[in-house]
Structures are given as C-alpha cells and as structure tokens.
Amino acid sequence: MIVLEGLTKKYGDFTAVAGMDLEIPANCIFGLLGPNGAGKTTTLRMISGILRPDAGRVLLGGYDVHETPDSAKALLGFVPDRPFVYEKLTGAELLRFTAGLWGMSGPEVEARIDELLELWDLTPWKDQLIESYSHGMRQKLIISSALVHNPTVLVIDEPMVGLDPRSAWLFKDLLRSFVDKGGTALISTHTLELAENLADMLAVMHRGELVAVGTLLDLQRQAAAEGAGLEEIFLRLTRGATDENIERVLSR
C-alpha cells in the first residue's frame, strides 16, 4: 500500500534520508523507530506530499504522491508531530474545513464530525475556538481531522504526545480497527512499548538509513539479540548512551 523507492532528501550538505527503499503492505500497522534526527519526520513528510524528495519516489495505493498527488492524497490521512492548527477556527469548523479539502460536505460529514468529537469526548468543545484547547485536545482533534474523510492510509508522527491514558488506549483500539477494516497505518514513535504491542511490522532508522526492517523476530535476528525486547534491540542498533556516559554526567 505504501512503497518507497530510493527516497532521498538532503538539507544542504546534510543527508536526512539516504535512498530509502520500503514496502508496507495493506492491513498493516507499521512502526518507524529511530533516535532524534534519524530522518523519521522528513520521511513521513515526503510520504504525505509535504516535502518533495531530491530523488526517488513514494507510491500510495499505486499512485505517485508527487506525480499524481490528487489520487494519492485522496487516500491519505496525516497527523503531524506538532499539533499546529488554525487557532481561530472551532473544532467543528476545522473538521468541516478538512473534509472540504478532501471534497466532502453535507449531512454525512456533519454526522461524521459529531461521531469523531463524541469518540474523543470533545463534543462540549465543538463550537469553542481551538486556541482554548489543551495540547491533548488538539492532538485528538488532529487525529479526528485525519480520519474525517475516511482515508485508507494513515501516516502518523508521534501519536501519543499529550494523550491521557484513556485516550491512548482508545487510539490503539481505533488504529487496530482501522487496519482490520482494510486500512494501512504508518506510525513514527519514540514510545517503544506502543510499537512493540501495536505494530505488525517495524523498522529502525538511523542517520537517514533503515538499519533493520521486519517483525519483532526479524529485528531480533538482525540485531543479533535473540529473545531481547524492543528497547534493547533499539539501543543496539542505534548505539545508545552507555552506562559510563550516565555515570560521568551524574558524578558532577
């Protein structure tokens, strides 16, 4: 459902994403992991058509995101890493506006908006300006805006930021149901527990490259860490801080 071929992005001399190849099948939750600055957000922004790659291409449902954006983006729902939205719109207006961008309006959209706001306990805030929303409420609203037009592909950058435990549980349930009904979800996250429990497939990115791809078992093999948890695999693949580093910091 999501295909990346030789995807490359450079910022000046710095290569953020270096010739990435990846294929994510339908009906799959795919977790993209990596340390800060690994290139995850840049990858997700290229997949969503926000950034244009320097080389390579992205296919969504067989459509090239940059050559045939209308068809490719019609399938897409995107949640960015930071919940910036129009502060002077109400929650309902933002969802109506988003549906409009995907060419949808009318009573069906209104019913869908009510449904989504109800799901996230946002109904009392429906007609309040977004500037009065808390960080978590904005996150829930943006997840709703990614779902309002019934996408088949969800691309989500850091979904759990600001979500309370109940909303986090709800999100996981929602994502599983979305995939069970034929959707495909790509999530970039630092919450390893979420990735381990939820993702059907995983990839670890480091310095713009994929260093491991597959199921948890595949990752254990690739990291030469049989039986290890995702945290240990991640640290091995990305060479995390050593005990000596920590000791040095705390001894001062």
Residues that bind another protein (CB under 8 A): 45, 48-50, 52, 69-71, 73-74, 76, 78, 80, 82, 84-90, 93, 96-98, 100-105, 127-129, 131-132, 145
Counted residue by residue, the chain has a size of 252
Closer to another protein by CB, 14 or 86: give it. Answer: 86
Smallest distance, another protein to C-beta of residue 23, A? 21
Closer to another protein by CB, 132 or 177: give it. Answer: 132
Cβ proximity of 66 and 49 under 8 Å: yes
Smallest distance, another protein to C-beta of residue 103, A? 6
Q: What SS3 state is found at 97?
A: helix
Closer to another protein by CB, 67 or 218: give it. Answer: 67
* Token representation of residue 37: 């600055």
Smallest distance, another protein to C-beta of residue 92, A? 9
Cβ proximity of 116 and 179 under 8 Å: no
Smallest distance, another protein to C-beta of residue 109, A? 10
Largest CA distance in the chain: 63
Closer to another protein by CB, 68 or 191: give it. Answer: 68
Cβ proximity of 2 and 64 under 8 Å: no
Smallest distance, another protein to C-beta of residue 138, A? 12
Closer to another protein by CB, 81 or 232: give it. Answer: 81
Closer to another protein by CB, 45 or 206: give it. Answer: 45
Q: What SS3 state is found at 21?
A: strand
Q: What SS3 state is found at 154?
A: strand
Determine the Cα–Cα distance for residues 251 and 29; give it in Å rounded to an integer.
42
Smallest distance, another protein to C-beta of residue 69, A? 6
Cβ proximity of 174 and 166 under 8 Å: no
Residue 6 carries which DSSP code? E
